[in-house]
Amino acid sequence: MNLPENTFKQALRAGRRQLGAFLALGDAHAAELMASSGFDWLLIDCEHGPNDLPSALAQVQALAGYPVQAVLRPSDHDAARIKQYLDLGVQNLLAPMVDSAAQAQALVAAMRYPPRGIRGVGAGMARAARWGNVANYYAQAESELCLAVQIETLAGLENLDAIAAVDGVDGVFLGPADLAAALGHLGEPMHAQVRAAVEQALPRIRAAGKAAGVYCAEPDLASNYAALGASFFLIAADAILLRTAAAAALGRFAG
């Protein structure tokens, strides 16, 4: 039995555009619905969404039958939780609030087995190795794992070049909502200063040889960011799509 091929990682390395959405409802049925919609990747959000290990596992399993890549955002940088997510079979992580190269290096170490890292060894009991049925799992695992780190603070922006230079970081993702707060514009992710920060950061990420990503729900702005080097985008969220559609349906009858 072979490891699943990580087409998300391949796409990031090739610079192919990848469109994704948040899974914030914490529900496998909703995740499968989103998987049937044609997105390239879906982000299981354990930072702001009501997710735990069992709900993350259920969503990973729900997505497995579709041509979409599961990416998981942990709540923090805890190496023990990262180990558990990887053992569930998660191959792609988007780590929030990365402010320094040291933090990025610690995340890389959490995803690698010794002697290159600190990931605990237990694949015989793990879905990731199909409970021991993947031949040479330990030798193969690292090549199919992908780490993207999220820049969301002033410290992250200041240390961007050093973070992007870390070996084992495959992509750097910009979070406009938290950057807006850090820049003094809480609740204004489209503020000109936030857009300028994103526009200045994207070419620096690409210059470091890493994939650049950003949350952007506006097609024209996404095209502008793509011209500056962005290749992977979050463009929607299941919870927002449901709320918007529900309000629109009600509005048609409200008169």
- The residues assigned a catalytic role are 48
Tell me the one-letter amino acid at 124. G
Measure Cα distances from 229 to 80, 132, 163, 234 in Å: 34, 40, 17, 15
